[in-house]
Amino acid sequence: MNRSTSRQLGLAAVAALLLAGSATAWADDGAYPNPSRQVRIIVPFTAGGSSDVQARMLADKLGRMWGQPVVVENKPGAGGHLGGKYVADQPADGYTLMVGSIGLHAAYGVYKKLPYDPAKELRVVTVLAEMPHVVVAAPGLPVKNLQELTAMAKKEAGSINFGSAGVGSSVHMMGELYKMQSGAPIVHVPYRGSSAALNDLLGGQIQLMFENPPTVLAHIKGGKLKALAVTSKERLAALPDVPTAPEAGMKDYVATSWTTVAVSSKVPEAVVQKISADVRKVINTPEFRKGLQDQGMSAVANSLPDAQAFVAREKKRWDHVIAQGQITAN
């Protein structure tokens, strides 16, 4: 054996050991390994939003299952992509998870340049939950339903501003879909997360949001916001008196946002399979499903292949909205 061949074999052996080390970095529990130290769940948005609520529910249950602390860290910015890039760059050991969204996986076409490729550098292990959005208005906006909203927006072009969690976020895309289907010239105002936008909606600085249910339920029930419609075919159990968009006269305005659990695509297959299986076990418990339902969400917990196929379909759909609306991030 010559020196070059020997060196190549040596490097291959080192690479194999490194891969094996990352795949077995979790402590054996008799089945496939559990984590042997703290696990982090990154939320690429500010605290208090829907993704944050779900991440904290998940962290609690996974921590109990694994017998290790699971902590949530918020890393907002760039429509979630600061957090997405951070997760993509983490070591391939499975100790960093992320709760992702439409913006991270399906609407990143709004960015002409990103410092990473979400499709290649992040891997969805399951779709966590799915939910319609709620079209909510400030109490001072003189409309009671979608028909009145559209009429006012067309009559007074540019007078109605809607806030979002950032360009390309699900909250933004739901507003753009409404604009595309209704022809209402409402104006988008992006924020650094839903919490900031919601504060301005409550304060009257903006007039409208297309928000996830968990973020606005308490404000609707407390009379601080008006719910005009939900973007689903059926009424939301948490808001039984709020009509669906089809009931409100927009038969095609049906869309849901969704969240995922994702990891860096560098994480070995065996660890990905373990994380996917355990996360789905948690989501499918009656307690967790009830917790989601109380927040206006439905559990999904699909398999790895089904999750990949779902995200691909959704990306195609939102790419169309982005192209039609000529939406770009600065």
pLDDT tens string 182-198: 999 999 999 888 889 99
- The mean per-residue pLDDT over the stretch 228-251 comes to 93
Please say if the pLDDT value at position 13 is more than 80: no
Q: Domain check: are 202 and 222 in the same one?
A: yes
- The mean per-residue pLDDT over the stretch 20-25 comes to 46
Residue 26 belongs to some domain of the structure: yes
Q: Domain check: are 261 and 114 in the same one?
A: yes
Q: Domain check: are 51 and 108 in the same one?
A: yes
In the chain, what is the greatest distance between 2 CA atoms, to the nearest angstrom? 84
Q: Domain check: are 154 and 296 in the same one?
A: no
pLDDT, position 26: 62
Q: Domain check: are 80 and 114 in the same one?
A: yes
**Which residue has better confidence, 24 or 91?**
91
Crossing angle of helices 170-182 and 146-155, rounded to 10°: 70
pLDDT, position 10: 47
β-strands 34-35, 39-43 pairing: unpaired
Q: Which two tokens stand for residue 242?
A: 């709020």
The 3-state secondary structure of the chain reads CCHHHHHHHHHHHHHHHHHHHHHCCEECCCCCCEECCCEEEEECCCCCCHHHHHHHHHHHHHHHHHCCCEEEEECCCHHHHHHHHHHHCCCCCCCEEEEEEHHHHCCHHHCCCCCCCHHHHEEEEEEEEEEECEEEECCCCCCCCHHHHHHHHHHCCCCCEEEECCCCCHHHHHHHHHHHHHCCCCEEEECCCHHHHHHHHHHCCCCEEEECHHHHHHHHHCCCCEEEEECCCCCCCCCCCCCECCCCCCCCCCCEEEEEEEEECCCCHHHHHHHHHHHHHHHCCHHHHHHHHHCCCEECCCCHHHHHHHHHHHHHHHHHHHHHHCCCCC
Q: Domain check: are 124 and 273 in the same one?
A: yes
286-297 confidence digits (pLDDT tens):
999 999 988 888
Task: Give the model's confidence band at 22: pLDDT under 50 very low, under 70 low, under 90 confident, else very high.
Answer: very low
Domain boundary, last residue among 254, 273, 294: 254
Q: Residue 142 maps to which CATH number?
A: 3.40.190.10
pLDDT, position 16: 44
Task: Give the model's confidence band at 25: pLDDT under 50 very low, under 70 low, under 90 confident, else very high.
Answer: low
Residue 241 belongs to some domain of the structure: yes
Q: Domain check: are 238 and 148 in the same one?
A: yes
Q: Domain check: are 55 and 103 in the same one?
A: yes
Helix (H) or strand (E) holding 316, with range, is helix 304-325
Residue 330 belongs to some domain of the structure: no
Domain that residue 314 falls in? 3-131+257-325
β-strands 96-101, 39-43 pairing: parallel
Distance CA 110, CA 231 (A): 22
Q: Domain check: are 47 and 25 in the same one?
A: yes
Task: Give the model's confidence band at 11: pLDDT under 50 very low, under 70 low, under 90 confident, else very high.
Answer: very low
- The mean per-residue pLDDT over the stretch 94-121 comes to 95
Q: Within a 10 A sphere around the Cβ of 25, how many other Cβ atoms?
A: 18
Residue pair 210/225 in contact (Cβ under 8 Å)? The answer is no
- The mean per-residue pLDDT over the stretch 207-225 comes to 94
Please say if the pLDDT value at position 229 is more than 90: yes
Domain tally, the chain: 2
Domain boundary, last residue among 254, 289, 309: 254
131-174 confidence digits (pLDDT tens):
999 999 999 999 999 999 999 999 998 899 999 988 888 899 99
Mean pLDDT of the chain: 89
Q: Domain check: are 125 and 69 in the same one?
A: yes
Q: Residue 298 maps to which CATH number?
A: 3.40.190.150
State the residue for tokens 């959704």: 314
pLDDT, position 23: 42
Residue pair 45/73 in contact (Cβ under 8 Å)? The answer is no
β-strands 298-299, 226-230 pairing: unpaired
Task: Give the model's confidence band at 298: pLDDT under 50 very low, under 70 low, under 90 confident, else very high.
Answer: very high
Rounded to 5 degrees, what are φ and ψ at 260? Answer: -125, 165
Q: Domain check: are 157 and 217 in the same one?
A: yes
Q: Domain check: are 107 and 16 in the same one?
A: yes
Distance CA 12, CA 27 (A): 25
Distance CA 202, CA 308 (A): 37
33-51 confidence digits (pLDDT tens):
789 999 999 999 888 888 8
66-95 confidence digits (pLDDT tens):
999 999 999 988 888 999 999 999 999 999
